Amino acid sequence: MIERYTLPEMGALWSERNKFQKWLDVEIAVCEVHAEMGTIPREAVEEIKARASFTVERINEIEKTTDHDLIAFTTNLAESIGEAARFVHYGLTSSDVVDTANALLLRDACDILLKKIDALMEVLKRRAFEFKKTPQVGRTHGIHAEPTSFGLTFALWFDEMRRNRERLERARESVAVGKISGAVGAFAHLDPVVEERVCALLGLKAAPVSTQVIQRDTYAEYLCTLAVIASSLDKFALQVRHWQRTEVREAQERFKRGQKGSSAMPHKRNPILSERICGIARTIRANSIVGLENVALWHERDISHSSAERVVLPDSSIALDYILEKARSLIDGLVVYPERMLENLNATRGLVFSGQLLIALARKGAARETAYEWVQRNAMRVWDEGADFHTLIAKDTDINSLLTPEEIDSVFSLDTYLRNVDAIFARVFK
């Protein structure tokens, strides 16, 4: 991922140096278990632990000759360890190290992302309660529908992020799996106990069965989970972009002093952060397809997945980390205009209460189809002539033959639409 969209903690996790450090952690864990089982001398392990070192530059230099990064890595280790280096990588194949190290990286990436989700959920909860009783027009198909609570939007998003958190916890469990089973996963040169002990030492589960590699359905699950979470953030940001439209202007991104919206038009306040979140979400979704494509490998494995994973695993992790942080900042700093929401509620001159009027007529004995026709003919005049809905209803002889003026007035009330918000919040924030 480019530096522009890389935050420090996640960027450091996916650095080349940390990747090689995880490889070393796996190699040393294997040596430790071998020493416990008497396969290699304890003194050799202590020497390896004391002397093993590497540099990214030296590994890259060796790889120019070997065309194999794991061999370049072990060669660099041998340069620092000396004679005891013959016990490094003992009985292993490259993917034993790489895939087990990947499990460590993906597990740690999940932990960072889970913290970011928690921070976003805290902000969503706070803003939900802040605007719990703030009326706003609901929209279906982009058209004014019925009044709702602005706070319900944040409650809805909170509930969605809670589901996303559960998804990511499941993905974390799936990817936190190692394998130390040899060239085709048959334990030809290792006791299966080695795998169990190494994985336990590293805080991982051992794969029940593997080929030369951990099966890539687990990686696909991780990448698809990240794509789902990114799609939720895309949805949130898209809604903010709608609110910020000049014709709507019910809420907008915080516009700080010195910020510029356009190189040509000084008046512009553009939803650039929301648009950035939407754009990066597309990249994360696209990367999930790579994860799915990597599930099918030839026989015990080929290497077609490797090059793609070097891109999509860090990029998706880093990108989601970035937009989670930006989504938290966006919602936290969102500027809200309740007065504008009321203006928009009244923009259709009472039409948003048509459903409530329909129910009132049905309650009084009118057939639903008949009541619908009475309400709709007045509603169409509001659309076409710019008339006031309440005034037309009060003069409609069919309607006022069933409803008193007081009952008609009660139809045009926001109370009905906000009365059950507390009950909804009790269900969401239990």
Q: Are 346 and 259 in contact (CB under 8 A)?
A: no
**In the prediction, which pLDDT does 337 show?**
98
Reduced to 3 states (helix: H, G, I; strand: E, B; else coil), residue 380 is helix
For residues 297 and 405, membership in a common domain is answered with no
Task: Supply φ then ψ for residue 199, to 5 degrees.
Answer: -65, -40
Tell me how far apart the alpha carbons of residues 287 and 315 are, in angstroms, rounded to a whole number.
Answer: 8
Residue 189 pLDDT class (50, 70, 90 cuts): very high
Tell me, what CATH number does 359's domain have?
1.10.40.30
Last residue of a domain, one of 87, 115, 138: 87
* Number of domains present in the structure of the chain: 3
Structure tokens at 346: 């009244």
**In the prediction, which pLDDT does 266 show?**
86
The whole model's pTM is what?
Answer: 0.95
For residues 329 and 385, membership in a common domain is answered with no
pLDDT digits (tens, 9 = 90+) for 197-249: 999 999 999 999 999 999 999 999 999 999 999 999 999 999 999 999 999 99
Residue 67 pLDDT class (50, 70, 90 cuts): very high
The answer to the question of residue 420 being in a domain is no
Tell me how far apart the alpha carbons of residues 244 and 236 are, in angstroms, rounded to a whole number.
Answer: 13
Structure tokens at 153: 């939007």
Tell me how far apart the alpha carbons of residues 239 and 163 are, in angstroms, rounded to a whole number.
Answer: 19
pLDDT digits (tens, 9 = 90+) for 241-275: 999 999 999 999 998 888 888 888 888 889 999 99
- Look-up of token digits 């516009």: 255
For residues 178 and 31, membership in a common domain is answered with no
Judge residue 328's burial from the number of C-beta atoms within 10 Å of its C-beta, 0-12 exposed, 13-18 middle, 19 or more buried.
buried
For residues 266 and 169, membership in a common domain is answered with yes
For residues 63 and 123, membership in a common domain is answered with no
Q: Are 412 and 140 in contact (CB under 8 A)?
A: no
pLDDT digits (tens, 9 = 90+) for 18-61: 999 999 999 999 999 999 999 999 999 999 999 999 999 999 99
Tell me how far apart the alpha carbons of residues 383 and 49 are, in angstroms, rounded to a whole number.
Answer: 79
Q: Are 81 and 51 in contact (CB under 8 A)?
A: yes
Judge residue 293's burial from the number of C-beta atoms within 10 Å of its C-beta, 0-12 exposed, 13-18 middle, 19 or more buried.
middle
Q: Which residues are known to be catalytic?
A: 141, 262
Reduced to 3 states (helix: H, G, I; strand: E, B; else coil), residue 337 is coil
For residues 120 and 82, membership in a common domain is answered with no
For residues 176 and 276, membership in a common domain is answered with yes
**In the prediction, which pLDDT does 247 show?**
96
pLDDT digits (tens, 9 = 90+) for 296-319: 999 989 999 999 999 999 999 999
Q: Are 212 and 279 in contact (CB under 8 A)?
A: no
The answer to the question of residue 355 being in a domain is yes
Going by their DSSP bridges, the two strands 143-149 and 177-178 should be labelled as unpaired
Mean pLDDT calculated for residue range 70-90 = 97
Domain span holding position 133: 94-253+261-339
Q: Please give the DSSP secondary-structure letter assigned to residue 264.
A: S
Q: Are 19 and 101 in contact (CB under 8 A)?
A: yes
Tell me how far apart the alpha carbons of residues 230 and 317 are, in angstroms, rounded to a whole number.
Answer: 11
The answer to the question of residue 221 being in a domain is yes
The answer to the question of residue 128 being in a domain is yes
For residues 187 and 276, membership in a common domain is answered with yes
Tell me how far apart the alpha carbons of residues 81 and 88 are, in angstroms, rounded to a whole number.
Answer: 10
The answer to the question of residue 277 being in a domain is yes
Q: Please give the DSSP secondary-structure letter assigned to residue 420.
A: T
**In the prediction, which pLDDT does 300 show?**
87
Structure tokens at 307: 């090059």
Tell me, what CATH number does 270's domain have?
1.20.200.10
Last residue of a domain, one of 339, 363, 383: 339
Mean pLDDT calculated for residue range 101-112 = 98
For residues 60 and 153, membership in a common domain is answered with no
The answer to the question of residue 430 being in a domain is no
The answer to the question of residue 103 being in a domain is yes
Residue 137 pLDDT class (50, 70, 90 cuts): very high
The answer to the question of residue 178 being in a domain is yes
Q: Distances in Å between the alpha carbon of 290 and those of 6, 311, 316?
A: 21, 10, 11
Tell me how far apart the alpha carbons of residues 43 and 221 are, in angstroms, rounded to a whole number.
Answer: 42
For residues 124 and 202, membership in a common domain is answered with yes
For residues 322 and 369, membership in a common domain is answered with no
Q: Is the dihedral of CA 57, 63, 65, 70 positive or negative?
A: positive
As separate numbers, helices (DSSP H) first and strands (DSSP E) second, the chain gives 19, 6
Q: Distances in Å between the alpha carbon of 338 and those of 71, 97, 154?
A: 63, 57, 15
For residues 193 and 302, membership in a common domain is answered with yes
Tell me, what CATH number does 52's domain have?
1.10.275.10
pLDDT digits (tens, 9 = 90+) for 334-382: 999 999 999 999 999 999 999 999 999 999 999 999 999 999 999 999 9
What count of residues does the chain have? 430
- Beta strands (DSSP E) in 181-336 are 205-206, 251-252, 335-336
Q: Are 228 and 156 in contact (CB under 8 A)?
A: no
